[in-house]
Structure 1
Amino acid sequence: MGFFEHDDTPNNRPMRSMMIRRRLAPGAVALVLAATLAACGDSDSSSDTTSASSPTTAAQTQTETTAASNGVADKSADEVLAASLAAAKSASAMHVAGESDGTTIDLSLVKGEGASGSIAQGTNRFELLTVGDEIYLRGSDEFYRSLGGEAVVRLLAGKWLKVSAGDRQFGSFAAFTDMDKLLTEALRPEGTIEKGEVETVDGTEVVPLTNGREGTLYVAATGDPFPVKITPGGARRGEIVFDGWNEPVELTAPTDAIDIEELSRAAG
């Protein structure tokens, strides 16, 4: 899949594919969740906001206005896409956020280490944290209620759940929060892509790459050719924004998480 291509396989229904794996005493559940790239973003974008809203001097404005082209405007569509993927994968960290088909995702990822953020569909929301080989989830009351009713809400409200990234039923989450894998999936469109003329998106000069009705990827035309934004094609709404390149992200595992496997064994 790529850009905003719609894929309704089990690995692409983040909220709709929630199910109960096994009931535990007293009514607790082990979760089976499948994740997709619906959007990506920095769970803490304060540095970006501050930068954008801070007063700028005339010299700074002139520098931004006359920023040198990185050359992608002169490349073919496939070459622009390859350059953008290479630049993104060379970064140490990134932030990806946005909304698609009612699902909102906000994630900060560190290459080779993990990710932190949240996924939501209406009031059905959960925080997602991966640190090394461990995955942690903390859901809203509605999230836990959808898994097992009020008993589960009473047992798990406000608590982190811990699962292994090696668990076959949670493997999709491990891939979803893997920076390299996420970028490969996001920037791998199906079919032919066409390059448009340089334009400005959110204050950044970009080269648009359009994949038919599936959507458009905007690649920075100055500085590093990082992906800037993806917008859907056709009647679909939403957008995915990429930023926070190489900015520090703190990943700290919660010390009081409930281990789903231990809970399952105790229920026996």
Structure 2
Amino acid sequence: MTSSAPAVRARRRTALAVVLCAGLTVALTACAEEDPDKGTNGVGKLTAAQIDKKARAAADASDAVRLTGKLVGKGGTYTLNMQLSVDGGTGSVTSEQSTFELLRIGDELFLKADAGFWSHDADDAEGTAGGGDESDRAAADKLQGKYVKVPEDDPTYKQLRGFTEKKTLLDGMLTLHGKINKGDRDTIGGVRTVQIMGGKGEGGALDVSLKGTPYPLRVARGGGGGTVTLADWGEAFALEPPPEDDTVDYGGQLPKSSG
């Protein structure tokens, strides 16, 4: 009678070999899984507070940036498309009533708007003054489509200039409120990002680049304050005075403006 022991031992060796091969395959597959931070700037490995510090430092050090998106505040909702530098800014702002262009070079601020913008302001002046202000209406005809130099003592100068100031806008937008936590990974404009949040997002959120310099690429302001995309970091752009024949120096004060 032939013993079955050799056959049993053979089957066991085969089974063991299968188990070992399977285990080795799993191990090799695990090793082959791509590190989520491979090929990045390594910022994703940092704590939320460290990422926040690096992103803000990168933004402060950059000479220029483009902002596009919406800001929502007590003064209303504004849609921005602005290029900002340390020397000034240019672009457009759309409020709930109108769209206007801004250009600032140093302390010189120019405002360009269509007839609807100035007519709306004249109508506001009529309603609040209890009678038509013909001088404001005449000014509206004169100013439409022109670059109007905004006097520095005009009540709207500070508000309008704020839209053209890199530091002013970024300091307000990039500040997160509450305990800072890390969020999800994402991709913005083809660039991988890591998100940091104030609380669970109620204190705002920043998506920070995982490629090159850790610039903030998108900011969602807390409390429904709007979302803005930040791009073209460090890319220079021209800031040139408008042509003289397209410029009006209105003088002391602009017609009443509600924005």
TM-score per shorter chain, which class? 0.5 to 0.7
TM-score, normalised with respect to structure 1: 0.65
Match of 2:128? none
Task: Decide which of 117, 120, 137 is 1:146's aligned counterpart.
Answer: 120
Match in the other structure for 1:132: 106
Match of 1:249 among 233, 237, 259: 237
Q: 1:9-20 residue pairs with structure 2 within 5 A?
A: none
For these two proteins, the number of residue pairs brought into alignment is: 198
Once residues 164 and 70 of structure 1 are traced to their aligned partners in structure 2, the CA distance between those partners, rounded to angstroms, is 45
Deviation track 1:187-235 (CA, whole Å, cap 9, x = no partner) reads 112322211143323321111112232432101012110010123566x
> Residues 179-218 of structure 1 correspond to what in structure 2 (within 5 A)?
179-211=166-198, 212-218=201-207
Aligned partner of 2:40 in structure 1 is 69
8 Å Cα contact 2:81/2:91 also seen in 1: yes
What's the counterpart of residue 35 of structure 1?
none
SS in 2 for 1:247: coil
SS in 1 for 2:150: strand
What CA deviation, in whole Å up to 9, does each residue of 1:147-181 have, x standing for no partner? Answer: 11454432211111112457665223334322223
Q: Structure 2 matches for 1:154-173, cutoff 5 A?
A: 154-165=141-152, 169-173=156-160
Q: Paired residue for 1:17? A: none
- Asked if the contact 2:173–2:221 (Cα under 8 Å) also holds between the matched residues in 1, the reply is no
Matched, 1:103 2:74: no
TM-score, normalised by the number of residues in structure 2: 0.67
More displaced 10-residue stretch of structure 1: 123-132 or 150-159: 150-159
Q: Percent identity?
A: 29
Instruction: Say if 2:93 is the partner of 1:93.
Output: no
Distance, in Å, in 2 between the alignment partners of 1:251 and 1:116 is 7
Aligned residue for 1:138, secondary structure, equals strand
Tell whether the 8 Å contact from 1:127 to 1:137 is kept in structure 2 after alignment.
Answer: yes
| Equivalent residue runs for 1:112-123 within 5 Å | 113-121=87-95
Structure 1 residues 93 and 184: CA distance shift in structure 2, 3 A: same
Offset, 1:115: 0.3
Give the partner amino acid of 2:58: A
Distance 1:67 1:106, change over 3 A: farther
Match of 1:46 in 2: none
User: In structure 2, how many angstroms separate the alpha carbons of the residues matched to 1:110 and 1:120?
Assistant: 20
Alpha-carbon distance change, 118 to 67 in structure 1, aligned in 2, over 3 angstroms = farther
RMSD, aligned α-carbons: 2.7
The Cα of 1:182 is off from its aligned counterpart by 2.2
Q: Secondary structure, in 3 states, of the residue corresponding to 1:199?
A: strand
- Aligned partner of 2:229: which letter? V
Q: Which residue of 2 aligns with 1:224?
A: 213
2:157 maps to a residue whose letter is F
Q: SS at 1:153's partner residue?
A: helix
After TM superposition, the structure 1 stretch with the greater mean CA deviation from structure 2, 242-251 or 196-205, is: 196-205
Are 1:239 and 2:227 an aligned pair? yes
User: Which of the residues 252, 261, 264 maps onto 2:251?
Assistant: 261
